[in-house]
Amino acid sequence: VMVLDLVANTVIDSITVGRNPEQLIALNGKLYVPNSNDNTVSVIDVATNKVTATVTVGDGPRTVVADQSGNIWALGTGFTVYNSSPPYNIISSTPGSLTRFAAGGTSAQLTLPFANTSVSKLRISPDKTLLYYSYNGAEYQMSTTATALPNTPFLRRSFSGFAIDPRDNTIFAAVSTGYTTNGRFLRYPAAGGAAIDSFTVKVGPNGFVFY
């Protein structure tokens, strides 16, 4: 993890974490960094730029969010190992998982395994009470107080971009149809169900910013 001085545009420090850090979030003076090529989240004290804890989670953590109770959720995609020569068969795999731990803690409170590795894109609602993730070609919604994974999808399709409007929790979703054709933008009500509306956008839509 590199520490930047945005006034001088220089790197002023570097912090060694686990293998292939993917993302980070800040909460109460700490940074939480998922290390996607192992099974850990590094915790960094921003006052000292030092790693103060390493929390073991599921294999392949790529995204983390913080909920309304100050807990950290880490979504692991699992690992898949392929043969190095054609036809590149799968040698071994571990399933994805969703892990919760306290922001000040050093061990997992709850680990929820998936059946396979097709889980990705953990997000949280603006009020930090609902988790969203992509799994098996659908979007799922889960309360941060739940202790089991939901069985029924929230929306029965997958998206290249997904966000929640902080004003009214309307779902904004994007569908990319490739790198040479226009994509689609859709809006869904907060409770899910049929789309409110949709329209064509340019090539490769993959995210939203609310300002």
pLDDT, one tens digit per residue, over 96-121 is 999 999 998 899 999 999 998 889 99
Mind listing the pLDDT tens digit for each residue in 65-79? 999 999 999 999 999
Mind listing the pLDDT tens digit for each residue in 127-139? 999 999 999 999 9
User: CA torsion 108→110→113→119, rounded to 10°?
Assistant: -80
At residue 211 the predicted structure's pLDDT band, cuts being 50, 70 and 90, is confident
Write the CATH number of the domain with boundaries 2-125: 2.130.10.10
8 A C-beta contact, residue 205 and residue 186:
no
At residue 89 the predicted structure's pLDDT band, cuts being 50, 70 and 90, is very high
pTM over 0.85: yes
Give residue 104's pLDDT: 87
8 A C-beta contact, residue 138 and residue 98:
no
* Distance from C-alpha of 114 to C-alpha of 51, rounded to nearest angstrom: 29
Long-range CB contact pairs, 143-150, < 8 A, 24+: 144/67, 144/68, 144/69, 144/71, 144/73, 147/110, 148/112, 149/98, 149/112, 149/114
Decide if pLDDT at 14 tops 90. Answer: yes
Provide the residue ranges of all domains of the chain, joining segments of one domain with +.
2-125
Mean pLDDT of 39-44: 98
